[in-house]
Amino acid sequence: MTSQSTQVGELFKQKRKERNLSLKEAENATSIRVNYLQAIETGEISKLISPIYAQGFIKQYASFLGLDGDIILKEHPELFGRPQPQEFAYGIGTLEVRDNPGAGVKWLPNSIWILAFTASIIVAWWLARYLEVI
């Protein structure tokens, strides 16, 4: 947490308190989760999903509070320069191969359908010959 991110966070917090708004009210108005709003206000930008999301959240939150988000982003580009490494839960964001027992070709049902189709064609042909249609 840098002093600049703390200053930016304090600016947001001060503006929100000037307007007599709770974090929950800000969440409802901006659709940004409370924990992300808290991260912005405490200057913990690295807790946000990614630098791109952080920029979007800050612009949206600034607009809601009557601040110019573009100016804030231009004055503090160092807050968003480096993506923070993220930990992923097992299976999310990994390239491991997993077995899926239902993913293979179902030979028995497919062959039954093929046999049924072929049998119906043969029966139709035989019936047409028997009734002297062809």
Q: What is the pLDDT of residue 128?
A: 93
pLDDT tier, 45 (very low <50, low <70, confident <90, very high otherwise): confident
Q: Please, which residues have CB within 8 angstroms of residue 125's CB and are 6 or more apart in sequence?
A: 134
CB 61 within 8 A of CB 37: yes
Looking at domain 3-79, its CATH class is mainly alpha
* H helical segments located in the chain: 3-18, 23-30, 34-42, 51-65, 69-75, 107-130
Mean pLDDT over the full length of the chain: 80
pLDDT tier, 95 (very low <50, low <70, confident <90, very high otherwise): low
| pLDDT tens track for 97-122 | 556 666 666 788 889 999 999 999 99
For the chain, the domains span 3-79, 105-134
What's the number of CA atoms in the CB half-sphere (13 Å) around residue 107? Answer: 0
Q: Please, which residues have CB within 8 angstroms of residue 91's CB and are 6 or more apart in sequence?
A: 98
Q: Please, which residues have CB within 8 angstroms of residue 116's CB and are 6 or more apart in sequence?
A: none
Q: What is the pLDDT of residue 26?
A: 87
| pLDDT tens track for 69-81 | 888 888 877 776 6
